Amino acid sequence: MSEVEARPTNFIRQIIDTDLADGKYKTIQTRFPPEPNGYLHIGHAKSICLNFGIAQDYRGKCNLRFDDTNPTKEDVEYVDSIKRDVEWLGFHWDGEVRYSSDYFDQLYHYAIELINKGLAYVDELSADEIREYRGTLTQVGKNSPYRDRSVAENVALFNKMKNGEFAEGKACLRAKIDMASPFIVMRDPVLYRIKFASHHQTGDAWCIYPMYDFTHCISDAIENITHSLCTLEFQDNRRLYDWVLDNITITARPHQYEFSRLNLEYAITSKRKLNLLVSEKIVDGWNDPRMPTISGMRRRGYSAAAIRDFCQRIGVTKQENTVEMSTLEFCVREDLNENAPRAMAVLDPVRVVIENFSETLDEVLSMPNHPNRPELGNRNVAFTREIYIDRADFREEANKNYKRLVLGKEVRLRNAYVIRADRVEKDNQGNITTIYCTYDPTTLNKNPEDGRKIKGVIHWVSVKFALPAEIRLYDRLFNTPNPGSADDFLATINADSLIIKQGFIEPSLRDSKPEFAYQFEREGYFCLDSKYSKDDHYVFNRTVGLRDSWSE
């Protein structure tokens, strides 16, 4: 299969193929233009993979440009986090990072050009009055009383805005288009507003800031973007995108194409609502492992490859739909099943004493790091007289469908021996504190010599060598598939989205690194937490379970 044949296809790539074949463009130039007012989420990952992926596949270029036109909501913290996320996903932008603020001087002069052409005016209506004058979907708007000012007056007033001689909200620059347009975005949209706020890139150089719709198309043209890709909510805005470029003296003419945004079950991708979760401390910051942010998924143990695979699987269309969370989790499981080393951890421990095993011997057993990848090697694990097993792996009585340890019956310890439960010891409340067992020394990684059939296998760790660990069992943050549609989305928070266990891990995990996932055998996939793990205090996050428990 050729490289071209192996590429994913979609309507945008088909447009690009046609443009190249027709000679419209010789090279492809895209851009990823996030606003630095929060951390990137899974929806942005789709856009990143689309824009950077197209540039990669067509041997073109993709810019990273920050849409930094609203300094009151932006922060360098968000700028830095976005750069980290793009690089972590495996992509590299062309040249230096770009900012819309790089073009503030040019944008200002293009605004003056529109004024001089009689296509923009300074309006002194309040924000509420502008909203009222704009009309509705069924009622046309009406002209502002300031709409017919002369060019000279508008130039003077716009300079007055620039020089800080108007208070915030007392004046703005609007395009003069058509207050009766069936498209509300074309009813004299605001191009500039006043904000006395220091900007993270330009400091206090400006007190007027351009609006997104004015800035974006001009920035695309300045950067010679060929295909400007955005989500469907900007479909009507394309009319304004083209209107601005049609009415200023700029050579390049990029074209905007819209695709459906990513909606994910049991998650929200509204930055405003995500910010509320953070500010109200409902979650542990933007990178909380329950958040749908790229940094949250990274901290949880999702791999960049799994997210890229997910974005490719869901495709790019104009059809709005909601993707099942299980699809994302399937991609994560598939990647980790192939790549995550195995280890053993006991999340709800109960002590087991193997009475016929030596009290002084520490037997070293060699275990494969991956059952299907011998190149990942083996690790040594100590087997001792006292071990921990999971409390759910033992019952005093059980039916034949229970394949774990039962009083008076046998089970195999993972990569070790067959043991039989003989008796138990309980505390005053009737809770089992110790299980006393015997082992068959002839059964190390093989069946009993007399032909006994052992059906169950359970995991374990040595009491002597186990490392205490805090295990954080993360689940879906919301208990309804579409929390964003609820009257109060906070009322749909899943109270069990985080359960903390105090367990034990095998000593091979001592050198674990954050963001590197392991399969804890029979439990799921876990990675060391990057925030709370310190020196000998081990905190592991559950990345995803071994199977989809929500569909059961």
Q: Render pLDDT for 358-397 as a digit per residue (tens, 0 to 9).
A: 999 999 999 999 999 999 999 999 999 999 999 999 999 9
Cβ-proximal residues to 431 (8 Å cutoff; 6+ apart), any chain: none
Beta strands in 386-464 (DSSP E): 386-390, 394-395, 405-406, 410-413, 418-426, 432-440, 457-458, 461-462
Strand partners, 518: 526
Q: Render pLDDT for 110-169 as a digit per residue (tens, 0 to 9).
A: 999 999 999 999 999 999 999 999 999 999 999 999 999 999 999 999 999 999 999 999
Active site residue 271: yes
Question: Binding-site residues, please?
Answer: 35-37, 41-47, 67, 212, 231, 261-262
Q: Please choose, from the candidates 216, 171, 511, the residue with its C-alpha nearest in 3D space to the C-alpha of residue 343.
A: 511
Active site residue 318: no
pLDDT band (50, 70, 90) for residue 451: confident
Which residue type does 432 have?
I
Q: Please tell me the distance from the alpha carbon of residue 547 to that of residue 552, in angstroms, as a whole number.
A: 10
Q: Render pLDDT for 277-290 as a digit per residue (tens, 0 to 9).
A: 999 999 999 999 99
pLDDT over 50 (residue 3): no
Question: Binding-site residues for L-glutamine, please?
Answer: 67, 212
Q: Render pLDDT for 481-515 as a digit per residue (tens, 0 to 9).
A: 999 999 999 999 999 999 999 999 999 999 999 99
CA angle 289, 290, 291 (to 5 degrees): 95
pLDDT band (50, 70, 90) for residue 5: very low
The verdict on pTM exceeding 0.85 is: yes
pLDDT over 70 (residue 536): yes
pLDDT over 50 (residue 1): no
CA 19 to chain centre: 32
SS (HEC) of 450-497: CCCCCCCEECCEECCCCEEEEEEEECCCECCCCHHHCCCHHHHECCCC
Is residue 169 helix, strand or coil? coil
Which residue type does 219 have?
S
Question: Binding-site residues for ATP, please?
Answer: 35-37, 41-47, 231, 261-262
Which residue type does 184 have?
I
Q: Please choose, from the candidates 32, 31, 102, 39, the residue with its C-alpha nearest in 3D space to the C-alpha of residue 75.
A: 39
Say which of 84, 142, 261, 531 is annotated catalytic.
261
- Token representation of residue 538: 């081990």
Q: Please tell me the distance from the alpha carbon of residue 189 to that of residue 421, in angstroms, as a whole number.
A: 77
Say which of 35, 124, 153, 363 is annotated catalytic.
35
What distances in angstroms separate CA 291 from CA 78, 299, 417, 470, one per listed residue? 16, 10, 41, 20
Active site residue 261: yes
Q: Render pLDDT for 211-266 as a digit per residue (tens, 0 to 9).
A: 999 999 999 999 999 999 999 999 999 999 999 999 999 999 999 999 999 999 99
Q: Render pLDDT for 107-122 as a digit per residue (tens, 0 to 9).
A: 999 999 999 999 999 9
Side-chain-side CA neighbours of 67 within 13 Å: the count stands at: 17
Is residue 49 helix, strand or coil? helix
Exposure class string for 449-484: b at 16+ Cβ within 10 A, else e: eeeeebeebbbbbbbebbbebbbbbbbbbbbbbbbe
- Token representation of residue 387: 């071990």
Say which of 193, 271, 342, 476 is annotated catalytic.
271
Q: What is the pLDDT of residue 551?
A: 54
Query: H helices within 58-126, ranges in order?
Result: 76-88, 104-116
pLDDT over 90 (residue 7): no
Q: Please choose, from the candidates 466, 516, 521, the residue with its C-alpha nearest in 3D space to the C-alpha of residue 540.
A: 516
Q: Please tell me the distance from the alpha carbon of residue 511 to that of residue 508, in angstroms, as a whole number.
A: 7
Q: DSSP character for 137?
A: S
Q: Please choose, from the candidates 136, 211, 213, the residue with its C-alpha nearest in 3D space to the C-alpha of residue 179.
A: 136
Length of the chain: 552
pLDDT band (50, 70, 90) for residue 6: low
Q: Render pLDDT for 308-354 as a digit per residue (tens, 0 to 9).
A: 999 999 999 999 889 999 999 999 999 999 999 999 999 999 999 99
Is residue 535 helix, strand or coil? coil
Q: Which domains does the chain have, with CATH numbers?
A: 3-261 (3.40.50.620), 271-342+469-544 (2.40.240.10), 349-459 (2.40.240.10)
pLDDT over 70 (residue 549): no
